C-alpha cells in the first residue's frame, strides 16, 4: 500500500514525458455558461415540476375516490394521458417544428437543432413511459399487456421512428451536417405520422376515445378527479420543460467539448509537462484499493 503512495523521483524513464509539444498559446474558448436568469428559470421550473408531481401523486393516490367500474386502477388516468400528451404532441411536435425551422434558411441556427434533439430524447423517454403505463393499465382491464390496437401501434411506430432519429444523431459528423441530416429525418418522420395514424386506425381500433381533449372539449369526468387530471397534465408538462432545458444545456456543452476536445487535451498535457519541470517529482496515482486518509497523512 505505502509503496504506491510514495513520490517517485523523475529519472530518465520518466523524463520521456516532457513534451515535444512547443509551448504554443493554445486558447480554449470557455464552455458555454447559461446566464443567471436562465439558471434561475431552470431551477424554478424544476422546483414547480417537483411540487406539481408530488401534489399529483398525493391527490391521485389518497384524495381522489376510486372509480365505480375500475376501482383503484382508475388512478392511472392521472399519469397515463398526461405522459402520452407530452410524448406524442408536445415533444414530437416541438421536434418537428424546430427541425423545420432549422431547414428553413432564414431561421437556420444550431439552436433549433439542439432543441429538436433535446425534444426527441425527452420525448422518447415519455413515449416509453406511455407504453409502460399503458401496459400496466391494459393487463387488468383488457386482460393483455399489449393489444394491437390502433393507438398503441402508432405510438410504438412513433417510438421506433424517433429511436432511428437518435441513432442517426449518434453517428459522428460535423455539427452542421448532423443537424441537416437529423432535421430531414425528423421531417420525413413527421410527415409520415398522420399517414401512419390513419392506416393503423383503419387497421384496428379498440382504445377508449379521448376523455379530456374530445371534440367539444367538455371533460367527461368530474370533480376532484378532473382537477387532479388537469394538475397531472400541468405537472408533466413542467417536467418535460425542465428536462428539455437541462438536456439543451448538456447538448450545448457536448458540442463545445466535441469542438475543443483536442485543444483541451493539449493544454492539459502541457500543464503536466510544466508540473514535471517545476517540482521534479510526480505523485504516483493512488492504487485501486484506497486506504484510509490517516494512512496517507502518515506517508506524507
Partner 1 sequence: MWRDAALVAGKDLRIEGRSRVALSQVAPFGIVALVLFAFALGPDRQTMAKGAPGLFWVAVLFCTVLAIQRSVSVESSDGASDGLRLSGIDPAGLYLGKAVAVAAQLVVLEALLGVGVVLLYGAHIEVPWMIVVSCVLGTIGLAATGTLYGALSSGLRVRETLLPFLLLPIAAPVLLAGTRIWQAAMAGGTPSDGTQWLRLLVVFDAVYLAIGVVLFGPIQETA
Contacts with partner 1 by CB under 8 A lie at 103, 157, 160-161, 163-164, 167-168, 171, 177, 180-181, 184-185, 187-189, 191-192, 195-196, 198-200, 202-203
* Beta carbon of residue 140, minimum distance to partner 1 (angstroms, whole number): 29
Complex with partner 1: residue 142 or 184, whichever CB lies closer: 184
Nearest 10 degrees: Cα torsion 289, 294, 296, 300: -170
User: Rounded CA gap, 34 and 144, in Å?
Assistant: 47
Complex with partner 1: residue 58 or 188, whichever CB lies closer: 188
- As given in the structure block, the three cell numbers for residue 230 are 388537469
User: Rounded CA gap, 232 and 136, in Å?
Assistant: 18
- Grid cell 460535423 in the structure block, residue: 174
* Beta carbon of residue 201, minimum distance to partner 1 (angstroms, whole number): 10
Complex with partner 1: residue 104 or 227, whichever CB lies closer: 104
* Beta carbon of residue 195, minimum distance to partner 1 (angstroms, whole number): 5
Other beta carbons within 10 angstroms of residue 300's beta carbon come to 8
Q: Dihedrals φ, ψ of 125, to 5°?
A: -60, -45
Element (H, E) at 80: helix 80-84
* Beta carbon of residue 145, minimum distance to partner 1 (angstroms, whole number): 21
Taking CA atoms, 77 is separated from 115, 192, 232, 251, 270, in Å, by 29, 28, 9, 33, 59
Complex with partner 1: residue 204 or 260, whichever CB lies closer: 204
* Beta carbon of residue 126, minimum distance to partner 1 (angstroms, whole number): 18
CB of 69 closer than 8 Å to CB of 104: no
Complex with partner 1: residue 172 or 285, whichever CB lies closer: 172
Amino acid at each position: 500500500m505505502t509503496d504506491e503512495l510514495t513520490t517517485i523521483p523523475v529519472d530518465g524513464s520518466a523524463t520521456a514525458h516532457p513534451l515535444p509539444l512547443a509551448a504554443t498559446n493554445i486558447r480554449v474558448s470557455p464552455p458555454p455558461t447559461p446566464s443567471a436568469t436562465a439558471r434561475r428559470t431552470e431551477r424554478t421550473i424544476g422546483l414547480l415540476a417537483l411540487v406539481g408531481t408530488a401534489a399529483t401523486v398525493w391527490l391521485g393516490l389518497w384524495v381522489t375516490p376510486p372509480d365505480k367500474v375500475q376501482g383503484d386502477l382508475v388512478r392511472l388516468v392521472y399519469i397515463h394521458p398526461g405522459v402520452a400528451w407530452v410524448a406524442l404532441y408536445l415533444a414530437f411536435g416541438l421536434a418537428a417544428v424546430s427541425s423545420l425551422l432549422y431547414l428553413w434558411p432564414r431561421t437556420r441556427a444550431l439552436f433549433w437543432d439542439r432543441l429538436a434533439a433535446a425534444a426527441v430524447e425527452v420525448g422518447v423517454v415519455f413515449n416509453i413511459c406511455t407504453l409502460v403505463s399503458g401496459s400496466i393499465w391494459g393487463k387488468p382491464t383488457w386482460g393483455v399487456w399489449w393489444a394491437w390496437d390502433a393507438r398503441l401501434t402508432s405510438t410504438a411506430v412513433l417510438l421506433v421512428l424517433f429511436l432511428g432519429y437518435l441513432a442517426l444523431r449518434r453517428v459522428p459528423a460535423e455539427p452542421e451536417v448532423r443537424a441537416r441530416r437529423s432535421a430531414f429525418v425528423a421531417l420525413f418522420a413527421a410527415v409520415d405520422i398522420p399517414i401512419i395514424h390513419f392506416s393503423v386506425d383503419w387497421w384496428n381500433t379498440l382504445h377508449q376515445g379521448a376523455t379530456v381533449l374530445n371534440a367539444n372539449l367538455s371533460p367527461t369526468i368530474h370533480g376532484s378527479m378532473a382537477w387532479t387530471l388537469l394538475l397531472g397534465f400541468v405537472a408533466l408538462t413542467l417536467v418535460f420543460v425542465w428536462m428539455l432545458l437541462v438536456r439543451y444545456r448538456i447538448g450545448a456543452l457536448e458540442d463545445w467539448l466535441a469542438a475543443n476536445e483536442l485543444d483541451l487535451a493539449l493544454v492539459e498535457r502541457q500543464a503536466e509537462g510544466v508540473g514535471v519541470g517545476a517540482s521534479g517529482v510526480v505523485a504516483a496515482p493512488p492504487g485501486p484499493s484506497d486506504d484510509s486518509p490517516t494512512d496517507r497523512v502518515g506517508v506524507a
